[in-house]
């Protein structure tokens, strides 16, 4: 049957959906099966894939399911607020997986990531984390998003990319606007200006950083191509790790007996908590967008050509046929995607390293950290793609600042 006949479309961009997406996924599973008609913005239809095996098949089929959104873009308003998150860009994420362009962009990114010193990355996280903790440790309270995870991740990513503070501030404002649905023209103008400045700086004054490795890569990326490689670095490199930190800390604080270990004298089990959150509540919940090149039947449902098909990594991971409750080293989860557009392996490792170190440093400094409000009073940011808190308020005994080396 056509996807339109499966049932009424469910909006996944609302505050109501953000408040209880897992309840919505369960209802979808019972009512619709694996393919769910949704709206990603008012009047913008899409199909949400909530079956794990179906999602893996789609994400590994570039011959029928394209990552290039340009045919679809012609059918929707250019100023769609979510457009900066989904529009075509000359980078690997928006180039179809069986093309020369995709291979070229993907290799440039992987080679640039390969130059990151993992041991140095530990030091970057510590250098960013400790002053941030010192800034609020004497007050006895903090918002772990605005006071800790966001500035920490942003500082580390800027250092990895060799981005100086003045350009970094411009990028920060643009990156926030990207996820908050600010109009497309404004977001793109902000990003283009800041990232062009960074590109030109690194062409003139190279360093030991990701941006320099990209501009010097044999792929010979143009300034425009550089901007769009860096857009991916910043959008994924800030939003995903900051919410991975926050969501994992929330899991640990609401499951103290399983993860905190304070009463028994054990160290917090950060690795286990990260494994679990990537499986059950990943920071990028619904994404991995593809577009059928022609009408296609998947799981007995006809999908129209050039209409978005979105994988719900959160719903797929939590499917009863897959989720056994054993999350240790769960390489099966779709938090990082699958197929030719899956998150690069090194980028996954770096995101998890940053999150792990950030959480351990925080809990080492403030072991009696507690939520400031009941967990069910926390507010989640609405939006079709992310799983992100608006704030994560915590309290703890006032603690003297640490001595910084």
Kindly report, residue by residue over 127-174, the tens digit of the pLDDT: 999 999 999 999 999 999 999 999 999 999 999 999 998 888 888 777
Q: Positive or negative, the Cα torsion across 278, 126, 158, 80?
A: positive
What local confidence, expressed as pLDDT, does residue 49 receive? 97
What local confidence, expressed as pLDDT, does residue 177 receive? 67
DSSP 146-211: IIIIHHHHHHHHHHHHT--HHHHHHHHHHHHHHHHT--HHHHHHHHHHHHHHHHHHHHHS--SSHH
CATH value at residue 336: 1.10.630.10
How sure is the predictor about 235, in pLDDT bands with cuts at 50, 70 and 90? confident
Question: For residue 401, is it within any domain?
Answer: no
**What Å distances lie between residue 194 and 91, 231, 346, CA to CA?**
18, 10, 25
What local confidence, expressed as pLDDT, does residue 322 receive? 73
Sequence-distant (≥ 6) Cβ neighbours of residue 138 within 8 angstroms: 398, 399, 400, 401
| Domain with 68 in it | 3-395
Angstrom distance (rounded) from CA 13 to CA 381: 9
Angle, CA of 396, 401 and 402, to the nearest 5°:
115
Question: For residue 208, is it within any domain?
Answer: yes
pLDDT tens digits, one per residue of 15-36: 999 999 999 999 999 999 999 9
Q: Which residue has the higher pLDDT, 187 or 164?
A: 164
Least confident of 148-152, 177-181, 312-316: 177-181
pLDDT tens digits, one per residue of 344-370: 999 999 999 999 999 999 999 999 999
Helix (H, G, I), strand (E, B) or coil at 255: coil
Choose among 145, 65, 4: nearest CA to 337: 65
Domain count, the chain: 1
Angstrom distance (rounded) from CA 91 to CA 395: 42
How sure is the predictor about 184, in pLDDT bands with cuts at 50, 70 and 90? low
Question: For residue 402, is it within any domain?
Answer: no
Residue owning tokens 């992987």: 110
By the 8 A CB rule, do 405 and 144 touch?
no
How sure is the predictor about 85, in pLDDT bands with cuts at 50, 70 and 90? confident
What is the chain's mean pLDDT, rounded? Answer: 91
Query: Which region, left, alpha or beta, applies to residue 325 given φ > 0 means left and ψ of -120 to 50 means alpha?
Result: left
């Amino acid at each position: 049957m056509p996807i339109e006949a499966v049932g009424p479309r469910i909006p996944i961009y609302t505050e109501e959906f953000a408040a209880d997406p897992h309840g919505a996924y369960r209802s979808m599973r019972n009512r619709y099966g694996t393919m769910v008609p949704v709206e990603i913005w008012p009047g913008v239809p899409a199909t949400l894939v909530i079956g794990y095996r179906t999602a893996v098949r789609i994400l590994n089929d570039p011959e029928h399911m394209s990552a290039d959104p340009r045919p679809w873009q012609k059918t929707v308003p250019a100023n769609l607020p979510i457009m900066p998150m989904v529009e075509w860009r000359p980078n690997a994420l928006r180039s179809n997986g069986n093309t020369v362009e995709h291979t070229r962009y993907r290799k440039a990114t992987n080679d640039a990531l390969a130059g990151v010193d993992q041991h140095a990355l530990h030091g970057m996280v510590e250098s960013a984390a400790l002053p941030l903790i010192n800034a609020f440790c004497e007050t006895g309270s903090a918002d772990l998003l605005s006071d800790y995870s966001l500035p920490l991740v942003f500082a580390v990513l800027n250092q990895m990319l060799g981005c100086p503070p003045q350009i970094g501030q411009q990028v920060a404002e643009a990156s926030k606007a990207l996820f908050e649905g600010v109009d497309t023209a404004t977001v793109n103008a902000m990003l283009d200006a800041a990232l062009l400045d960074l590109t030109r700086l690194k062409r003139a004054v190279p360093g030991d950083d990701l941006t320099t490795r990209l501009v010097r890569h044999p792929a010979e990326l143009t300034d425009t191509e550089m901007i769009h490689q860096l857009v991916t670095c910043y959008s994924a490199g800030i939003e995903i790790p900051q919410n991975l930190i926050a969501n994992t800390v929330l899991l640990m604080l609401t499951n103290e007996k399983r993860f905190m270990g304070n009463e028994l004298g054990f160290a917090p089990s950060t690795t286990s908590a990260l494994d679990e959150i990537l499986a059950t509540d990943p920071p990028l919940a619904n994404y991995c967008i593809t577009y059928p090149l022609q009408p296609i039947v998947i799981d007995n449902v006809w999908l129209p050509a050039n209409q978005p098909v979105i994988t719900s990594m959160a719903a797929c991971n939590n499917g009863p046929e897959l989720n056994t409750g054993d999350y240790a080293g769960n390489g099966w989860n779709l938090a990082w995607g699958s197929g030719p557009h899956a998150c690069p392996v090194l980028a996954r490792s770096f995101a998890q390293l940053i999150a792990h170190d950030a959480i351990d440093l925080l809990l080492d400094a403030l072991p009696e950290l507690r939520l400031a409000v009941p967990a069910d009073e926390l507010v989640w940011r609405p939006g079709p793609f992310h799983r992100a808190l608006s704030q994560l308020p915590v309290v703890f005994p006032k603690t003297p600042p640490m001595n910084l080396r």
